[in-house]
Amino acid sequence: MILTFLINILLSYFLLKLTLPFFGKFFLDIPNKRSLHKKTVFRAGGIIFVLLSVIFSTLRGYYLPIFCLPLAIIGLIDDKINLSSSIRYLFQLATVIFLIFNIFPSVYLNFFILIFLIIFGTDIINFINFMDGSDGLVAGCLSLALFFFSFKLNPEISPLVGALMGFLILNWSPAKVFMGDVGSTFLGAILFGIFLQAKSYEEAFTVFLIIFPLIGDAFTCVLRRYFNGQNIFKAHKLHLYQRLCESGWSHQKVASIYLSSTFVLILSNLLGGFSSLVIISGMIFLIGIWLDQTKAIKFKEASDLS
> Which range of residues forms the domain containing residue 112?
2-305
Residues pairing with 42 in the sheet:
28, 177
From first CA to last CA, the distance across the chain in angstroms is: 45
Write down the pLDDT at residue 36: 76
| pLDDT at residue 176 tops 70 | yes
pLDDT tens per residue, range 148-172: 999 999 999 999 999 999 999 999 9
How far is 199 from 212, CA to CA, in rounded Å?
A: 20
For residue 163, give the amino acid letter: A
| pLDDT at residue 206 tops 70 | yes
How far is 167 from 183, CA to CA, in rounded Å?
A: 10
pLDDT tens per residue, range 89-108: 999 999 999 999 998 777 66
Report the range of poorest mean pLDDT among 101-105, 126-130, 175-179, 207-211: 101-105
Report the range of poorest mean pLDDT among 76-85, 133-142, 257-266: 76-85
Write down the pLDDT at residue 55: 96
How far is 95 from 111, CA to CA, in rounded Å?
A: 18
Write down the pLDDT at residue 32: 66
Average pLDDT, the chain: 92
- Percentage with pLDDT > 90 across the chain: 80
Report the range of poorest mean pLDDT among 228-237, 260-269, 291-300: 228-237
> What mean pLDDT do residues 32-48 have?
81
Which residues have C-beta within 8 Å of that of residue 279, sequence separation ≥ 6? 268
How far is 38 from 160, CA to CA, in rounded Å?
A: 30
Please answer whether residues 155 and 1 qualify as being in contact, where contact means their C-beta atoms are separated by less than 8 angstroms: yes
> What mean pLDDT do residues 219-225 have?
94
CA atoms within 13 A on the CB side of 79: 30
DSSP 8-state secondary structure symbol assigned to residue 177: B
State the pLDDT confidence band at 235, using cuts at 50, 70 and 90: confident
Please answer whether residues 168 and 143 qualify as being in contact, where contact means their C-beta atoms are separated by less than 8 angstroms: yes
For residue 277, give the amino acid letter: L
| pLDDT at residue 280 tops 70 | yes
Q: Total structural domains in the chain?
A: 1
Cis peptide leading into residue 213 (ω within 30°)? no
Please answer whether residues 142 and 258 qualify as being in contact, where contact means their C-beta atoms are separated by less than 8 angstroms: no
**Is residue 12 left, alpha or beta, with left meaning phi > 0 and alpha meaning psi from -120 to 50?**
alpha
> What mean pLDDT do residues 137-144 have?
98
How far is 78 from 259, CA to CA, in rounded Å?
A: 28
How far is 178 from 163, CA to CA, in rounded Å?
A: 14
Please answer whether residues 277 and 261 qualify as being in contact, where contact means their C-beta atoms are separated by less than 8 angstroms: no
| pLDDT at residue 2 tops 90 | no
Write down the pLDDT at residue 238: 93
Query: What is the model's pTM?
Result: 0.95
For residue 110, give the amino acid letter: N
Report the range of poorest mean pLDDT among 19-33, 43-57, 112-126, 278-292: 19-33
| pLDDT at residue 67 tops 80 | yes
